[in-house]
Structure 1
Amino acid sequence: MNILRLSYLIGVYDPTKHDAWPWHFQYEYGQYLSAKHRVCGRERAAEFSTEKEARDFYFLWKHARTFKFELIPVQCWVVGPDPAYPPEHPKSILKAISEREPYSVRLTASFWFYAQDISTLYSARTLKKHREALLKYGIDIDQTRPAHLEIKPEPPVIQEPEKRVLTRVK
């Protein structure tokens, strides 16, 4: 399962030379803060899961008074563990088919689960071969799919960042 992960980098710049972090259109050439509190390139930049962690890390740096910083949000897709489904769930059946059958049979099964018309996609001979292979899993592609075996496309999973609470300073 793909999960969209949000993390933060600390972009640093010298305020005597620039008014803001100047590398917004060329992130790979920017200056960042490394995990060892050194100015570095994009490859060695320290990543933080929250803005608070990044800010706290920056203010522990001995050059925090001479440099300024900008938090750079970075989003990337990471692979997370698939959820565990019961054996009779359509995704469990489809996973079992994926592990044991050729790609074309798996594709036919997924079309059937997603309520696609497969009679126009394959020849009668191919459909007969795929039906024989899928009957071992309790799937009869000649019959209409029961409602409990329907798979609906799921939206991507996005990890929400922590909610920030604003407090008024007196």
Structure 2
Amino acid sequence: MAGANEDENTPQNGSEVVATEGNATAEGEAAAGAAAAAQQARPPSTAESFFAVTKSLIVRGLVIYFISSFFRKPAPTPDVGPGGAPMPPKFPALNLFENGTNVEMYVFLSEDDRHPDFNNPHSLVWKHDSLVYGDWTGGPYGDGTFRLSTKLAARLLHQTDQSVW
């Protein structure tokens, strides 16, 4: 039988093993490791793989968005007029004339690019009446173009390689 010196946790007959703290944690870790190996051994379900791919794509998209936001133009500052009042918004360009409007064309020749003399009848090179704005089939060639061939007297200023305006 058991004597007074024997420990309570030691086996009496060699076939019985009593769990102590040291060998209980080792057995628990072994069981947890076996469960983890079994978890890794089975293939992921379709729902799990779908959510993994979706999560990956969302994370990549957010990273690309935040990186590209650094390269965007900053928001335009509003135009401020005199006295600090905001300026009205700018509108896109519009046609000055409606299609089908009759217009006249005047072509002047001048040596001065800043102050042409429109009152001088000698500087008028070509005057064309009854042009129709927006007519792409007008003209003698039916392609919306008009041409003028003329000879100009070359003045001394033009002969010294200056521009004609």
- When normalised by structure 1's length, the TM-score is 0.19
| Greater fraction of residues in strand | 1
- Rg bigger for which structure? 2
- When normalised by structure 2's length, the TM-score is 0.19
Higher relative contact order (CA closer than 8 Å, sequence separation 6+): 1
